[in-house]
Chain A
Amino acid sequence: MSTPISYFLVLSSILFAIGSVGVLTRKNALIIFMSVELQLNAVNLTLVAFSRMHNSLNGQVLAFFSMVVAAAEVVVGLAIIVSVYRRIRSVNVDDAEALRG
């Protein structure tokens, strides 16, 4: 492999930053949620890159667990968004400031 590990780390930091800008600026709850997924994936890329760098599979196992947790999180998060939408008829986070589901 001739790609330096640092390239993957810088790329994953760029993706993480894009994801956090999305969380901070967008109003649509679904797009905020997708940005969180992007951040999780950026961190997974870091874990896999470090696993390659240290010649160990522990990083890949951790990335695998984080994928499982992300799947569970998406299921619950989307159920919450659907339940909030039923009450306030909107997925705009500015409309949901009372936090009542």
Chain B
Amino acid sequence: MQADLILFWVFAPISVASAIAMLVMRNAVHSALFLIVNFFCLALFYLILGATFLFAVQIIVYAGAIMVLFLFVIMLLGVDGREDLRERRLIAQRPVAIALGVAFVLEVTFAIRASIGFSALAPAGFDKVNEGGNAQALAKVLFSKYFFPFEVTSILLIIAAIAAMILAQRKSHAVTQAEMEAHNAAMEPVAPEPVA
């Protein structure tokens, strides 16, 4: 048994358990923290698979930036811990969803067994692909073959930033007459109580 197999069997149960914990937690902050655990496990799997650059990006972008953004919004909205979990709209929505999820896993498992088999090891020679380091090799591919998509993603990020600013800005709506009167009534000085 080699180190990567041990690492896999240690962190695969942790990643599944943290994903399930994220699902069943009532408090959104706890869910977010379990999702961070899950992202760290996935980063380790990238490391096992020889994708060292994606390992770093996973931790920096996902566990760092994206989850901080999530926690920021959860705390900004001040969502209270309790969530009403009664099923109101669809009958038996939860059992059907779980059954479909299990069916999906079984289907994919059978498909994998039919196509590549459970014991197919990765071919040797990935070191040659990663020549000069994973980041350098990835950069060579990214800035030659995928240069145009790379530039398009930069435009996408700018559009997303602008869209977020437009969506989140407070709209300066015109004040209606009724609102104005309500405001004036609230502001009217109250006559001081006569001192007994």
Question: What is the interface residue range for chain A against chain B?
Answer: 35 or more
Nearest CB on A from B174, distance (A): 17
User: Is there an interface contact between B61 and A71, defined as CB atoms closer than 8 Å?
Assistant: yes
Question: What is the interface residue range for chain B against chain A?
Answer: 35 or more
Chain B binding surface, main DSSP class? helix
Query: Inside 8 A of A35's CB, which chain B residues have their CB?
Result: 22-23
**With A13-B105, A27-B84 as given contacts, are A5 and B54 in contact (CB-CB < 8 Å)?**
no
Q: Which residues of A contact B (CB under 8 A)?
A: 1-11, 13-22, 24-28, 30-31, 33-35, 37-38, 41, 44-45, 48-49, 51-53, 55-58, 60-61, 63-65, 67-76, 78-83, 85-86, 91-92, 94, 101
Q: Which residues of B contact A (CB under 8 A)?
A: 1-2, 4-5, 8, 12, 15-16, 19-20, 22-23, 28, 31-32, 35, 38-39, 42, 45-46, 48-51, 53-54, 57-58, 61-62, 65-66, 69-70, 73-74, 76-77, 79, 83-85, 88-89, 93-94, 97-98, 100-102, 104-105, 108-109, 112-113, 116-123, 125-126, 128-129, 134, 137-138, 141-142, 146, 149, 153, 156-157, 159-161, 163-164, 167-168, 170
